[in-house]
Structures are given as structure tokens and as C-alpha cells.
Amino acid sequence: KQEVTQIPAALSVPEGENLVLNCSFTDSAIYNLQWFRQDPGKGLTSLLLIQSSQREQTSGRLNASLDKSSGRSTLYIAASQPGDSATYLCAAQNTGGFKTIFGAGTRLFVKA
């Protein structure tokens, strides 16, 4: 059974800092690993999707990497801004089905 874990649960950094959010998964038989952003009281917005054949994806100041062999993915945020404050969730879609399994998220606070 796939389990997705995100550490730390919460993170507070000063504005301008580069930071890394971690995601680990137990079953490497995945179609993809997806990173989402969730603002308080809102739905989730997909940021990046890394397919199993890819190693990384980039969008603006965001870079996500995937290492299936070690069961890990990281989301790198460059030059953090207060507007980046949100909860970031990762999710793995297993092969052989349509189920996407989520981690509990990392709550990020960027201080001005």
C-alpha cells in the first residue's frame, strides 16, 4: 500500500531564502509525482507534475525533482516571498490504477 510522507509538517523562513520541501513514498511503481499548493480555505492547485520517466520539472522559481529508486521527491523554491506562504502537498499516482495518494502537506510561512 502506497504511503506518502512529508517532512517537516511546518516551516518558517525569512523572505529571500531558498528552501527545499521533502516528500517520500513507499512504492516506486508510480505514474507520476505531483506537487500542489493549497491556500487557507481554498482548493488545491497543481504546481508541477513529474512523470515516472522524468527526473525533474521546473516552473518559474519552482523546481521539483524525482528519485524513484530512493522513493523521494523534493520541491525547491528559490528566493522565497511572503506570497509563497501556503500548504504544499505532494501526491503519487500508482501504476495499475487511477488512485492518487496524498501526503499530509508542509505548511510554509515566509516572513517579510
Partner 1 sequence: NAGVTQTPKFQVLKTGQSMTLQCAQDMNHEYMSWYRQDPGMGLRLIHYSVGAGITDQGEVPNGYNVSRSTTEDFPLRLLSAAPSQTSVYFCASSYRGLDEKLFFGSGTQLSVL
Q: Where on the chain is the footprint of partner 1 (CB under 8 A)?
A: 4, 9, 31-32, 34, 36, 41-46, 49, 51, 89, 91, 93, 98-105
Please report the DSSP string for 11-52 in residue order: EEEETT--EEEEEEES---EEEEEEEEE-TTS-EEEEEEEET
For the bound state, the minimum distance from the C-beta of residue 30 to partner 1, rounded and expressed in Å, comes to 10
Is the CB of 42 or the CB of 61 nearer to partner 1?
42
For the bound state, the minimum distance from the C-beta of residue 45 to partner 1, rounded and expressed in Å, comes to 7
